[in-house]
Amino acid sequence: MRVGDLISVRDLEKNDIVFLFERAEAMEKIIGGGSGLLAEKVVATLFFEPSTRTRLSFQTSAQRLGAKVIDFGAGSGTSMAKGETLADTIRIVDGYADLLVIRHAVEGAARFAARIAEHPVVNAGDGGNQHPTQTILDLYTIKKLKKKIKGLNVFLVGDLKYGRVMRSLMYGLGMFEANVALVSPKGLEMDAEAVKEVRQKFGIEITETNEMSLNEADVLYVCRIQKERFTDVYEAERVQKEFRITKEQIEGCKEDMVILHPLPKIDEIDSSIDKSPHAKYFEQAKYGVPVRMAIISELLKKK
């Protein structure tokens, strides 16, 4: 990898991601076998927004490679509750750890942290902006399940306005030349500039609609309505109820269509679908570990 921090998929080239796929394949083989690759290293996780998968899979990944993990915990138990700034907090943790993983509600927070820290910084989500490690694991999952990415019809369904996962993934899909269909409720469309950038940069086909017609999909990538980023919570709940994937909705879909979701899912996918052969989101979540093992080890190798 050419970069010393992982802040945005826009900083990466296709080759970097293909290389990480290879490393993740290798990591899959050593999970459970024990590895001292990162013995003596300390990885810090700082999550200023809620997280289950991203935080725990980063911690698992570090530990499976023999590193130790320190966790910032809930902000209320730290000096940030006394008014310490993010900048000072980063400086301090940078003095304790060899790599910092950060999630923050403010767009650009990870880039800001990377400027301050001397050690590698990984963006685990900054507001509605970017979630690069999720994108790499999403692309890895698609490649695993469908054996290719190029030419697949990938439908991104849900809140495309506030979903950082969707914004990052659209860019990644552009890089790998998939055909992208953006399907969102009215008012929650993907940022027009981001769409334009991916179209121009990669020349891929991107369609946009507010209708749930999903029959042509090879991959249905669903995400929840990002309620916490709405100014009107009632509006968020209304949209969430109206935009759901049900068994009826996927009846006419391709037999080998797969449904992915970064999770957590609330009620945008009917729970009866969990048992269908289309549903691959739990498998997807598992790939978070080898992919993040690959990312951490590569970044630590550089410094």
Q: Which residues of this chain interact with ligand NCD, rule CB under 6 A?
A: 53-54, 125, 131, 134, 164-165, 223-224, 226, 262-263
Beta strands 219-222 and 206-209, pairing class: unpaired
Q: DSSP for 178-196?
A: -EEEEE--TT-PPPHHHHH
Min dist CB 43 to ligand NCD, Å, is: 17
Closest to ligand NCD by CB, 94 vs 295, is 295
Min dist CB 254 to ligand NCD, Å, is: 25
Closest to ligand NCD by CB, 14 vs 53, is 53
| Best CA proximity match to 70, nearest among 86, 50, 94 | 94
Task: Please identify the residue of the shown chain whose CB is closest to the bound ligand NCD.
Answer: 262
Min dist CB 226 to ligand NCD, Å, is: 6
Dist CA 19 CA 104 (whole Å): 28
Dist CA 88 CA 150 (whole Å): 44
Dist CA 169 CA 150 (whole Å): 14
Helix (H) or strand (E) run with residue 47 in it: strand 42-47
Closest to ligand NCD by CB, 134 vs 153, is 134
Min dist CB 131 to ligand NCD, Å, is: 5
Min dist CB 283 to ligand NCD, Å, is: 14
Min dist CB 182 to ligand NCD, Å, is: 16
Dist CA 136 CA 132 (whole Å): 6
Closest to ligand NCD by CB, 185 vs 262, is 262
Min dist CB 142 to ligand NCD, Å, is: 16
Q: Specify which residues 208 forms β-bridges with.
A: 182
Closest to ligand NCD by CB, 24 vs 41, is 24
CB-based burial of residue 220 (10 Å sphere; 0-12 exposed, 13-18 middle, 19+ buried)? buried
Closest to ligand NCD by CB, 120 vs 288, is 288
Min dist CB 164 to ligand NCD, Å, is: 5
What does the CA dihedral 150, 10, 1, 56 come to, rounded to 10 degrees?
Answer: -90
Contacts of 230 (CB under 8 A, 6+ apart): 162, 236
Dist CA 199 CA 4 (whole Å): 27
Closest to ligand NCD by CB, 187 vs 264, is 264
- SS3 for 276? coil
How many Å is the Cα radius of gyration of the chain?
A: 19
Closest to ligand NCD by CB, 125 vs 174, is 125
